[in-house]
Amino acid sequence: MNSNSKRLAKGGRIDRGRPLEFSFDGSKLAGFQGDTLASALLANGVSLVGRSFKYHRPRGIFSAGAEEPNALVTLGTGGRREPNLPATMLELGDGMIAESQNRWPSLAFDLQSVNGLFAPFLSAGFYYKTFMGPTRRAWMFYEHFIRRAAGLGKAGMEPDPDRYELRHAFADVAIVGGGPAGLSAARAAANAGARVALIEQDFRFGGQLLSERPGSEANAWLEALGIELRGLGNVDLMARTTAVGIYDGQVLGLVERRDHAQASGRVRQAFTILRAGAIVFAPGAIERPLVFSNNDRPGVMLASAVRTYVNRFAVLPGRRAVVTTTNDGAWRTAFDLAAAGAQVTVADLRATLAPALQAEALRLGIAVRPGTHIADLRGGRALNAARLAGSGAETEVDCDLVCVSGGWSPTVHLTSHLGVKPVYREDIDGFAPGPLAGGQFGAGSVVGGYTTAEAIETGHRAGIEAAAYCGKTKPVPAALQFQSTDLPAAAFRGVPPARGKAFVDFQMDVTTGDIALAHREGYQSVEHLKRYTTLGMGTDQGKTSNFPALSAMAALRGATIPETGTTTFRPPYTPVAIGALAGRAVGHHLKPTRRTPMHDWHIANGADMLEVGLWMRPYFYRGAGRDVNEAYVAEMRFVREAAGLMDISTLGKIDVQGPDAATLFDRVYANGFVKLPVGRARYGVMLRDDGVVLDDGTTTRLGEHRFFMTTSTAKAANVLSRLEFLLDTAWPDLRVAVTSVTDEWAAMSVAGPRSREVLAAAFPTLDVSNEALPHMGLIGGEFDGRALRVIRLSYSGERAYEVYVGASAGEAAWRRLIEAGQPFGLRPYGVEALGALRVEKGHVAGPEIDGRTTLDDLGLGRMVGKRSGFVGDVLRRRPALAEQDRQRLVGLTCVEADARLSGGAVLFKQGETLKGHGCGRITSVTYSPTLGAYVGLALLAGDVAMGDEVVAVHMMKNEAVRARVVSPVFLDPQGERLHG
């Protein structure tokens, strides 16, 4: 195990009493509780952590946060293997296994680094210019090699054994960012009486205050505020949680990581949808790098990151450091490095420096070089020296660490997700959020408050305003301040041009030369620049490269930065694992499994269950036959000859109420409903806007302004959504409320010639005579103190009744019917028999209502008559939908007595070549015990006449069956059984 060779002897926010073991590229290393993977690697002297995307140049740790472009690792093994994770964001866990990426055969010796020799040929847009020729199909040759070279890490192929969760949460005030601004906002909003959610991507709260020296006033302030917030009962402290997106209605998408403490059976990540009354944005700012030759060498780091590693993690990244900066803020890094024992040189691009800075540098033994910049760096897999240029001369300084600071960019990503355009501010030389929407507030560095005092004060004010927006106005104590040692952050402009390969986007290997080439070739818009050079298209989303790149383009165009603009920020803020988005919706949990109130009875009585949409329904009952083919025929027989009982609880049920309810039905159904009497039901068909049939169902009028609507099982959600959409957009003036009551009612159908006797025996208080309950009639009653509805309607062609009772009484009503029906031969039947019965009767269902058929196609055009004004009426009249050869519903019987039809078979006219799409298709098939033969429904071209012979060809089964075209109604065409 390697020692912590670069770990300071004391200090830091690590727990030295809790050592941790981990591995990187197979080497066993050690760290402490409170480390990140990045800080532990630096402590162990690991400077080379990855390779760049295009040139495979050696790269080291660059930052200490989510903006990290270089230190991407693959974490875990097997099913837990997850690539492209920034080491700076991984809380160190015992036994953690990490490996570097984008290298072969090893990190130290990567054969693909030869790409650097071909850099002149791999400039911006090289793939557009190279892989398009010399022939039209040249891409087919190149594609294999390009895909092998693409990507950074490799995901595991084994199933992920871990759990993920999807949660919903609520807060009055959501605060994004747990730095001084966010903490101050949380304190103010909570004291005002608001429920507060404080969201912080780090595993500690404090932001840049965590980078202060041990024993500072900042540490005391953090401790005091933490105690106060934990003592309040209305603050949810959400650490290790990243706000990855903001959406309409003050909704935040949050990802919580638990990789540091992974154990079998525990939740690895959780995605939370947080709905807030108001949002305070306090995400801080991101430090900008400086652009100079070879500025991507391992050992080049952001100045603020170096300060974080020194003070928070007690790690000294280098012994001989050069701090190059354009602002006063980076001098604090120089002071802290010197105090930790490093030899430091400050190369400040400004010619005039504050006397106080120079005096402190002199006291600490820091060499100061005003008006100086880095011209070049020397070294390969580690830094050796920096060439400094200033006052017309160049000198070389030995170093193993270069700290860079080109100012700060407010983290405007989240505030931009809903279309708020960032606005350039000259005073901070950066883009801040534009005017925010109602209920949204900014605080701290994101709005240009770069000092700690400003962050605390703006956070306090934003917390009060956000709470007040939610109606919480209790008195709030004054903001809790402390004496900070901040230095001004205003940046110096006018960075000297680089003379060698200078990188703007470290991950995607985009250089200043690429930007200049894009300018020469006309890609001058920042959006075009991004796509042509791939700038900002890596996993870091250009967090450190965006501003330097647009500054370079502005200079090339001779335009101002506001004129040049910035790219569009979209969610997610950081990459999100697919598992976190899926939550537990995987495998059988991908969709909810819905069971009817009679489900347990079906299982106990031999039902073979079938998943139909989201529902589990009886396919057939084992007592009726050995397999489905034998059972469904037997079930059809006792429905036709005695009585059958079917669970239809899965039908969509919608309660529609309001003075304009009848008008709504008149508009959404092709056939009229305004004149439907109370206590009567009507079959209806609903069309899409384009005139194609959407769904069919039955609606019963319960009262003058109340209807009970049923839909098919498969289309229930679609129909409800359609009604809500039309009421919200097309007809907001209609006084109607639609409510799904599918789960409130258990439903069962009693069908067959003895169904009336069964119903009368089961519910003797109900008058189910033909006079009291005619076909399409309704009667009501009670069962076990619950409302009972009986509607007489049928899709099987037999006399039938639909019985509705409260879901909790569903099984009891079912048992009552089974018991009462035994003397009359009542038996339960499944969906296979149900489908076969409706085929015999010629009723259309899902196979025929497939999104391509019209009313006339299905033989339902007569339902409409001369009506007009309903949805789909105009476009259903299109000439193409009325052509004579259009496929229409017909019935089919076999010409040969022993033959059988197959669903999905293609139909061909007699004598026609059996190739292509034919002239129609079989949609539904069943064996009819009544007719003793196979029959089917089909959609067949209108120029094929009744009585004609066709050939049904099933290509997959290699069969051809002769069939005759007949009426689709095979049984009781006059409806005598139905109305008996």
The sheet carrying 82-86 orders its strands as 27-33, 15-24, 96-99, 72-75, 82-86
Strands 933-941 and 887-894, sheet pairing: antiparallel
Could you tell me which of 210, 214, 309 has the C-alpha nearest to residue 6? Answer: 309
pLDDT at 134 over 90: no
**How much of the chain, in percent, has pLDDT values that exceed 90?**
77
pLDDT value of residue 565: 87
Task: Give yes or no for a contact between 197 and 236, defined as CB atoms under 8 angstroms apart.
Answer: yes
Tokens 């060698």 found at: 500
- Is-above-0.85 flag for pTM? no
Q: What pLDDT shows up at residue 264?
A: 57
Please write the tens of the pLDDT for every residue from 736-768: 999 999 999 999 999 999 999 999 999 999 999
pLDDT category at 914 given cuts 50, 70, 90 is confident
**Which residue(s) pair with 934 in the sheet?**
927
**Single-letter amino acid, residue 929:** P
- State CA 684 to chain mean position distance: 37
- The token pair at 162 is 């871990």
Q: Which two tokens stand for residue 337?
A: 């490095």
Per residue in 18-75, pLDDT tens? 999 999 999 999 999 999 999 999 999 999 999 998 888 999 999 999 999 999 999 9
Average per-residue pLDDT in the chain?
92
Q: How many angstroms separate the CA atoms of 545 and 539, rounded? A: 12
**Average pLDDT for 235-248:** 96
Q: Which residue has the higher pLDDT, 607 or 123?
A: 607
| C-alpha span between 107 and 86 (Å, rounded) | 17
Q: What is the pLDDT of residues 818-867, one digit of tens each?
A: 999 999 999 999 999 999 999 999 999 989 999 999 999 999 999 898 88
The yes-or-no verdict on residue 263 having pLDDT over 60 is no
Q: pLDDT for 313-340, tens place per residue? A: 999 999 999 999 999 999 999 999 999 9
- In angstroms, the CA 200 to CA 176 distance is 7
pLDDT computed for residue 488 by the predictor: 53
- pLDDT-derived band at 874 (thresholds 50, 70, 90) equals very high
Radius of gyration in angstroms for the set of CA atoms belonging to the chain, rounded to a whole number: 37
Question: Which H or E run contains 396?
Answer: strand 393-398
Distance between CA atoms of 634 and 628, rounded to whole angstroms? 10
Provide the strand spans (E) within 413-556.
423-425, 430-432, 440-442, 503-505, 510-511
Answer whether 211's CB lies under 8 Å from 312's CB: yes
User: What pLDDT, on the 0 to 100 scale, is given for residue 265?
Assistant: 62
> What's the per-residue H, E or C state across 918-973?
CCEEEEEEEEECCCCEEEEEEEEECCCCCCCEEEEEECCCCEEEEEEEECCCCCCC
**Quick one: pLDDT band at residue 136, thresholds 50, 70, 90?**
confident
Characterize the bridge pairing of strands 163-176 and 267-281: parallel
Mapped onto helix, strand or coil, the DSSP state of residue 2 is: coil
Measured CA distances, 374 to 30, 289, 306, 316, 378 (Å): 35, 12, 18, 22, 11
| Cα→Cα distances 732→387, 656, 725, 735, 926, Å | 71, 15, 10, 8, 45
**What pLDDT score was predicted for residue 613?**
79
Tokens 């409903």 label which residue?
A: 673
HEC secondary structure over 353-381: CCHHHHHHHHHHCCEEEECEEEEEEEECC
Question: Under a CB-based contact definition with an 8 Å cutoff, are residues 890 and 942 in contact?
Answer: no
Evaluate whether 646 touches 748 at the Cβ level (below 8 Å).
Answer: yes
Structure tokens at 780: 């009501």
What integer pLDDT is reported at residue 127 of this predicted model?
67
- Confidence bin at 116 (pLDDT 50/70/90): low
Q: How confident is the model at residue 271 (pLDDT cuts 50, 70, 90)?
A: very high
State yes or no: pLDDT of 727 exceeds 70.
yes
Cα-Cα-Cα-Cα torsion 616, 617, 622, 625, nearest 10 degrees, comes to -140
Dihedral sign for Cα 716, 721, 727, 731, please: negative
Kindly tell me if the per-residue pLDDT of 788 is higher than 90. Answer: yes
Distance CA 637, CA 817 (A): 19
Q: What is the pLDDT of residues 387-438, one digit of tens each?
A: 999 877 889 999 999 999 999 999 999 999 999 999 999 989 999 999 999 9
851 secondary structure, DSSP code = S
User: Which two three-digit tokens encode residue 779?
Assistant: 């009667």
| Phi, psi (degrees; rounded to nearest 5) at 208 | -70, -15
All structural domains of the chain, each given as residue ranges with its CATH number in brackets, are 15-120 (3.10.20.440), 163-285+410-469 (3.50.50.60), 289-406 (3.50.50.60), 496-572 (1.10.10.1100), 883-975 (2.40.30.110)
Q: How would DSSP label each residue in 636-702?
A: HHHHHHTEEEEE-TTSEEEEEESTTHHHHHHHHBSS--TTPPTTBEEEEEEE-TTS-EEEEEEEEEE
Measured CA to CA, the distance from residue 646 to residue 662 in angstroms comes to: 30
Better pLDDT: 40 or 584:
40
What tokens were used for 918?
């034919």
Which residues touch 382 (CB under 8 Å, ≥6 apart)?
A: 47, 48, 60, 297, 298, 299, 400
453-468: b (≥16 Cβ within 10 Å) or e:
ebbbbbbbbbbbbbbe
Alpha helix segments (H runs only) across 272-418:
303-311, 331-339, 355-364, 413-416
Strand 737-740 to strand 745-751: parallel, antiparallel, or no bridges (unpaired)? unpaired
**Where does the pLDDT of residue 128 fall: very low under 50, low under 70, confident under 90, or very high at 90 and above?**
low
Indicate the range of 148-152, 153-157, 569-573, 592-596 predicted with least confidence: 148-152
The alpha carbon dihedral of 273, 274, 278, 284 has a sign of: negative
pLDDT over 70 percentage in the chain: 96
Distance between CA atoms of residues 545 and 68, nearest Å: 11
> What residues pair up with 643 in beta bridges, in sequence order?
826
| Residue 131 token pair | 């892989």
The secondary structure of residue 36, as a DSSP letter, is B
Kindly report each contact of residues 499-503 with a partner whose C-beta sits within 8 Å and lies 24 or more positions away, as own/partner.
499/293, 499/375, 499/376, 500/293, 500/294, 500/376, 501/119, 501/293, 501/294, 502/291, 502/292, 502/293, 502/294, 502/295, 503/291, 503/295, 503/296
Structure tokens, 566: 């910035």
Is residue 203's pLDDT more than 90? Answer: yes
* 1 has pLDDT over 50: no
Place of tokens 């002149």: 120
pLDDT in tens, 656-714: 999 999 999 999 999 989 999 999 999 999 999 999 999 999 999 999 999 999 999 98
DSSP letter string over 161-179?
-SEEEEEEEEEEEEEE--S
